[in-house]
Chains A and B, each alone.
Chain A
Amino acid sequence: MNVLVILIPVSLFLGGLGLLAFFWMLRKGQFDDPDGDANRILRSDYDDKPKT
């Protein structure tokens, strides 16, 4: 059972990282055009980074 003392903080920390990543994505507007992003990956023209 002692292992829980390590595992619970670790799981909370990792979950928290995910949460922070989500906040960052939200701020960056990555959820502004879900349909468009889903379709853009199907395009044949090459782009090495997303246009702003």
Chain B
Amino acid sequence: MSATADHPRPVPRAEAAAPVDGRLMLSLPTIHCAGCISRVERALEGAPGVNSARVNLTLKRAAIEADADVTAEDLVSVLAGAGYEAHELDPGVLAATDADPGARDLLMRLAVAGFAMMNVMLLSVAVWSGADGVTRDMMHWISAAIVLPAIVFTGKPFYVNAWSALRAGHLNMDVPISLAILLAVGTSLYETMLSGEYAYFDAAISLTFFLLAGRYLDYRTRASARSAAQELAALEVPRAVRLRDGVEETVGVADLIPGDVVLVRPGGRIPVDGLVALGNSEIDRALMTGESLPAFAGPGHAVSAGEVNLTGPLRITVTAAGKDTSLHRIADLVAIAESGRSRYTSLADQAAKLYAPGVHILAAVAAVGWYLYTWDLRIALNIAAAVLIITCPCALGLAVPAVTTAASGRLFRKGMLIKDGTAMERLAEVDTVVFDKTGTLTLGAPQPVGLDRLSETEAKVALGLAQGSSHPLAQALVTGLSGPAAPLSNLHEVPGFGVEAIWNDTPVRLGRAAWVGAEAPDVTATFLQIGDGAPVALTFTDSLRPGAAEALRGLRANGLRVLLISGDTHGAVRRFADEIGIEEVMAEALPADKAARIATLSDAGAKVLMVGDGLNDTAALAAAHVSISPASALDAARVASDMVLLGQDLAPIAEAFDVAVKARARIRENFTIATVYNVVAVPIAIAGFATPLAAALAMSASSITVSLNALRLK
């Protein structure tokens, strides 16, 4: 399923206009090393019309400056020749993520906080090692001079969030953070004015630094999830070729109305529901229904959006556009399934819910207690500040983002994009896996079987005929048959039926069963007829996706239940399931059946992972606890799923499950570390023994422990 120009999508996007001239973007899911960079750049720069090419290994993309007439398809095939998988991306949609201002802003604040922290720490070391009197005051004043502007600038994200939460009458993590920072700086300034012994400038700024680090990691994970969604939206561009008074014009799918005539070329996806007005062809319904056999389409046949036209150009009269298409009805199913999905509360949110009120109560109790005990507001405020600093979630703020960054980085290197922030946590809970067949466990590309049963003549003629067509079955034959082709004359394709030619004055044909007068079998097959002889069946199987067996083995090894639900016929599904070793199967499932089956499983308490690629899977993908689709899936399916496989290989699914389970374990360990640290440190702070040195040590130690623990995932 290459990225061709005319694809439908459930939600029309106005901004998907014509691509920017001369600048192309390709997604390269399989690159991973220095050699790949060189080979890809050399291959691209060697292509005609390309001025320069630059690979970004971090994002696994290539940006290409080329003449306006160079198309992405040309470059994709150039790269396929060099051995790299590539997909077209829409540069217009990607422009937003190109220079991410949010990440840069956070990184800049992080740098300022780091700079201020290092300098203040340096000055603080002098104080800790015994400076007193005027020297100590001077150190405190210089610290104040550095920290005050720095804290105003660097803490802004926290203040803004805290303020908007307070105004809305909520409490979030940022409220205690802002309070701790401001209270610590305030009391320290007051202490400095009074030549006091303790100032928490270093603690306040290093708190900000660690929290900003966590915030930055968190932002990056979210941004990469968001850019994943954008990248997917960018993979296919929804346009159609409309014929008006014999003139072809390219328009957005959203602008089509019933009665329009659209032209769909071979290889293109049908953008609307309609009736064939002119032309014969075969259409591939695999993405819509899961059927693996191509179906015939001629004048008067109904076709629906999402199907792929295989052999001949078709003119289609639009009968339904927009909300009335079968595509949109499936989108409605998705919406229903999504509304039924329970809202998942992430581990971080659960922790924050306990944490924010707890800290305030603790600090308030400490302050009031000390005030009643000493009747000294200065001591009470100092203790409250110390409690807030000690409890402040350095470890908590880093615990989750550090782990998710490490985990999603690892999965991205394996070729898996995570679209949803909580997908990893949900994946860790999965106990049942449901696979779709066509296009998911299989490549959706046919492979000929039993070619050695053909006689030498038959093989030569079949090869010669197959070379005359771009039909997927013919292409598969060309790959499967070796040796010389028979010399044919007058070779031509009959769209929708097959190819015919003259060989040694004998007419020869390769094509559909009905065309050569044979009985249609229940497997994918094409027929060869030489002269008036009996037609010979050439049968095909759908080849297994690489890594499918490994993925199944890996998932089973983890004790997961595996099911196969397909829209294909009983016979085909059964045969395939036996071959790959899945016991529980359901065949001829309509889109609603699939979603219903998932719902039944969920109601029985199962946490279902759905892996599917077709439009008929979208409702099931949305209904499942967590879902994965391959990059070759229709965009509606990718939009509905939480994770996307960038390459062809299915093996990362089992790996993703492992990583998710490990990531959840690390997050829990990190929470435990943070809790233990608080349990030890809070009594010390409340008792009034928390010196600035103790606070600095405890804070750094816990943050570093948590980060190192997260890094173990790599």
CA–CA, A41 to B33, complex, Å? 11
How many angstroms between the C-alpha atoms of A36 and B146 in the bound complex? 36
Task: Tell yes or no: A6 within 8 A of B by CB.
Answer: no
Q: Does A48 contact B (CB under 8 A)?
A: no
B37 touching A19, Cβ below 8 Å = no
Q: Choose among B35, B38, B115 the residue that contacts A18 (Cβ–Cβ < 8 A).
A: B115
Cβ-neighbour of A19 out of B107, B111, B122 (below 8 A): B111
Within 8 A of A (CB), among B43-101: 52, 54-59, 99
Q: Are A22 and B111 in contact (CB under 8 A)?
A: yes
Q: Are A26 and B58 in contact (CB under 8 A)?
A: no
Q: Does B119 contact A (CB under 8 A)?
A: yes
In this complex, the member of A39, A43, A45 whose beta carbon has the largest number of chain B beta carbons within 10 angstroms is A39
**Contact pattern, B 9-50, Cβ under 8 Å of A = 1, otherwise 0:** 000000000000000000000000111011000000000000
**Cα–Cα, bound, A34→B37 (Å):** 13
A33 with B115: CB separation less than 8 A: no
Picked from A23, A35, A39, the residue with its CB within 8 Å of the CB of B111 is A23
Residue of A nearest to B115 (CB): A19
Name the contact of A12 in the complex, choosing from B54, B59, B99, B119 (C-beta under 8 A): B119
Q: Are B56 and A33 neighbours in the complex by a CB distance under 8 Å?
A: yes
Q: Do A29 and B115 contact each other (CB < 8 Å), given the known contacts A8-B142, A45-B38?
A: no
- B499-556 residues with Cβ-Cβ distance < 8 A to A are none
Which of A36, A44, A45 has the most chain B CB atoms closer than 10 A to its own CB?
A: A36
Q: When the two chains form their complex, are residues A23 and B108 in contact, meaning their CB atoms are under 8 A apart?
A: yes
Contact present for A51 and B38 (CB under 8 Å): no
Bound Cα distance from A34 to B193, whole angstroms:
46
Cβ contact of B135, chosen from A1, A44, A45, cutoff 8 A: A1
Q: Specify which of B34, B104, B112, B123 is in contact with A39 (CB 8 Å cutoff).
A: B34
- Asked whether, in the complex, the Cβ of B58 is within 8 Å of the Cβ of A34, the reply is yes
A33–B38 touching, CB < 8 Å? no
Chain B residue at smallest Cβ distance from A16 = B115
Q: In the bound complex, how far is the Cα of B471 from the Cα of A6, in angstroms?
A: 80
Q: Which residue of A lies closest to B145 (CB)?
A: A12
CB distance from A13 to the nearest CB of B (A): 11
* Chain B residue at minimum C-beta to C-beta distance from A8: B142
The DSSP consensus for interface residues of chain B is helix
Q: Are B37 and A39 in contact (CB under 8 A)?
A: yes
Q: Evaluate contact between A12 and B146: CB separation under 8 angstroms.
A: yes
Inter-chain contact A26/B115, CB cutoff 8 Å: no
Which of A15, A34, A39, A51 is in CB contact (< 8 Å) with B119? A15
Q: Which of A17-37 contact B (CB under 8 A)?
A: 18-19, 22-23, 26, 29, 31-36
Contacting residues, chain A, for B37 (C-beta < 8 A): 36, 39-40, 43
Kindly identify which residue among B108, B122, B135, B142 contacts A26, using a CB–CB cutoff of 8 Å. Answer: B108
Knowing A11-B119, A12-B146, A42-B34 touch, does A36 contact B55 (C-beta < 8 A)? yes
Kindly state whether residue B601 has any CB partner on chain A within 8 Å.
no
A51 to B99, CA, bound (A): 18
Shortest CB distance B674–A (Å): 28
Whole-angstrom distance from the CB of B103 to the nearest CB of chain A? Answer: 9
CB closest residue in chain B, given A39: B34
Contact of A19 with B54 in the complex, beta carbons under 8 Å: no
**Residue of chain A at shortest CB distance from B105:** A26
Q: Knowing A32-B56, A33-B59, A36-B57 are in contact, say whether A15-B34 is a contact too (CB < 8 A).
A: no
Residue in A1, A19, A44 whose CB lies within 8 Å of B112: A19
If the complex has contacts A8-B142, A22-B111, are A29 and B99 also in contact, measured as CB distance less than 8 A? yes
CB-CB under 8 A from B146, the residues of chain A are 12
B248 CB to nearest A CB, Å: 38
- 9 A-B pairs with C-beta separation under 8 A: A1-B135, A15-B119, A18-B115, A23-B108, A23-B111, A26-B111, A29-B99, A34-B58, A41-B34
Which positions in B face A, CB cutoff 8 Å?
A: 33-35, 37-38, 52, 54-59, 99, 104, 107-108, 111-112, 115, 118-119, 122-123, 135, 138, 142, 146
Q: Chain A interface (Cβ within 8 Å of chain B)?
A: 1, 4, 8, 11-12, 15-16, 18-19, 22-23, 26, 29, 31-36, 39-45, 51
Known: A31-B107, A39-B57. 9 other contacts (CB 8 A): A1-B135, A8-B123, A19-B115, A26-B104, A33-B56, A36-B37, A36-B56, A39-B33, A39-B34
